[in-house]
Amino acid sequence: MKKIAIFAFGALALAACNSGYNINGTTGSNLEGKTAYLVNTNTNEPVDSCIVKDSAFVFKGELAEPEVMRVQIERTSGTVLLEPQSKITIDLTTRPAVVNDNGGVNDQAAEINNALNEKGSTLATAYRDNIAKVEKGEMTVEDFEVFRNKIVNELNGAYKESIVANKDNILGAYMLAMYSKGLYDDLASLDSVMQIVKYSGKMKPIQTLHANLKKKEATKEGKMFVDFKGQNVDGGVSALSDYVGKGRYVVADFWASWCGPCRAEIPNLKAISKEYDSEKVLVLGINVWDQEQKFKEALVNEGIDYPQIYVPQNGEYNATELYGIQGIPQIMLFGPDGTIIKRDLRGEGIKKAIEEAMSK
């Protein structure tokens, strides 16, 4: 279940500064006397603090280069973009916080956000209208998919244009950090935009995505499998290499009990497990991002009898990270020698991939 935000847009609350910045904030009376922190979002470390007095607070300081900061007072917060010599106001009495900087990058961010929200709202209306047409039989599912792909590309294109338009300031890097996971799904395209967007290399979300895509590149189709360990259903140690690279095809399903699309694929996997001789084709479940009890309950409720590897959260191995997986289900087909034949399999495509591989 790949997580790409298409129609849900949060407001971008931003602000600016660098050498000699000044942030004047206002907040509700409920936060009187509380400590306000200016936090570097990249390190999540506070760089300054002050006490709220008369529902107001002020941050002043020097900055070597633009940064994305968060003003935090207990659970109330707002994001600001700091660039050279900015004079910023932030109103924490509203949600999201309202940030102004006299035409600077924060004001520009608000304008871009409003435009993207408006575009997204228009596309969302068209999306709902076409779903209704499909339900009434006025549009085929195939035509709807063509339409859906078109509006996703159109909206993603609008975000990409906004990022590139602000490539030389912190706003472009901030937007790339916010939306890169949904916009760039391969290493080459992310590298390409990072080369032109200033400050993007320092953004932690972009660094994380880059690392994931690098691992995905190393485990793409045609590459050899990467081993990891977990637990079998009895609590013993089990490794991917116990099943993969043993002379048979392996359909590996990365899934979780709470994941609806994962549960929807289980009947397909059970059918494949029954159809093929397990010495030729084995279905293997790899449970990730889950609780052990919920995982075991799902096995019983779904009647799953093919082998499983449970990978504990925060354990020694992170199976999804090793394979650059950002969303589940992720269903892969491994060859008899352990080569990755196909990734991103779903539905009827699973059996099709098996048949194509076995016919060669």
- How is residue 9 written in tokens? 């847009």
Per-residue burial over 245-259, b = 16 or more CB atoms within 10 Å of its CB, e = otherwise? beebbbbbbbbbbeb
Between vectors from CA 212 to CA 322 and to CA 356, what angle results, nearest 5°? 65
pLDDT tens digit sequence for 221-256: 999 999 999 999 988 999 999 999 999 999 999 999
Q: How high is the mean pLDDT of the chain? A: 90
- Report the C-alpha dihedral over residues 284, 287, 292, 294, rounded to 10 degrees: -100
The answer to the question of residue 11 being in a domain is no
Pair (30, 90) in one structural domain: yes
Contact 193, 164 (CB under 8 A): yes
Domain stops at, among 177, 193, 218: 218
The answer to the question of residue 13 being in a domain is no
Domain stops at, among 192, 218, 244: 218
3-state secondary structure of 209: helix
The answer to the question of residue 278 being in a domain is yes
Pair (73, 118) in one structural domain: no
Pair (351, 256) in one structural domain: yes
DSSP single-letter state for residue 153:
H
Of the chain, the end-to-end C-alpha distance in Å amounts to 30
Which domain CATH number covers 316? 3.40.30.10
Pair (208, 286) in one structural domain: no
3-state secondary structure of 76: strand
* pLDDT beyond 80 at 1: no
Q: How many domains does the chain divide into?
A: 3
The answer to the question of residue 344 being in a domain is yes
Cα 144 → chain centroid: 25
Cα 88 → chain centroid: 30
Pair (269, 343) in one structural domain: yes
What is d(CA 212, CA 206) in angstroms, rounded to the nearest whole number? 10
Torsion 101-183-154-142 (CA) sign? negative
What is d(CA 202, CA 243) in angstroms, rounded to the nearest whole number? 40
Residue 5 has a pLDDT of 33
Residue 253 has a pLDDT of 98
Which domain CATH number covers 66? 2.60.40.1120
Pair (87, 167) in one structural domain: no
- How is residue 306 written in tokens? 């093919």
The answer to the question of residue 147 being in a domain is yes
The order of strands in the sheet holding 67-73 is 45-51, 35-40, 67-73, 76-82
Pair (60, 180) in one structural domain: no
* Cβ-based neighbour number of residue 261 at 10 Å: 13
Residue 48 has a pLDDT of 94
Give residue 75's domain range: 21-100
Domain stops at, among 100, 125, 156: 100
> pLDDT tier at 12 (50, 70, 90 boundaries)?
very low
The answer to the question of residue 268 being in a domain is yes
Nearest to 179 by CA among 305, 304, 10: 10
3-state secondary structure of 291: coil
* pLDDT beyond 90 at 3: no
Pair (207, 261) in one structural domain: no
Pair (355, 247) in one structural domain: yes
Question: Computed over its alpha carbons, how large is the radius of gyration of the chain?
Answer: 25
3-state secondary structure of 36: strand
The answer to the question of residue 15 being in a domain is no
pLDDT tens digit sequence for 83-92: 878 899 999 9
pLDDT tens digit sequence for 306-354: 999 999 987 677 899 999 998 999 999 999 999 999 999 999 999 999 9
The answer to the question of residue 28 being in a domain is yes
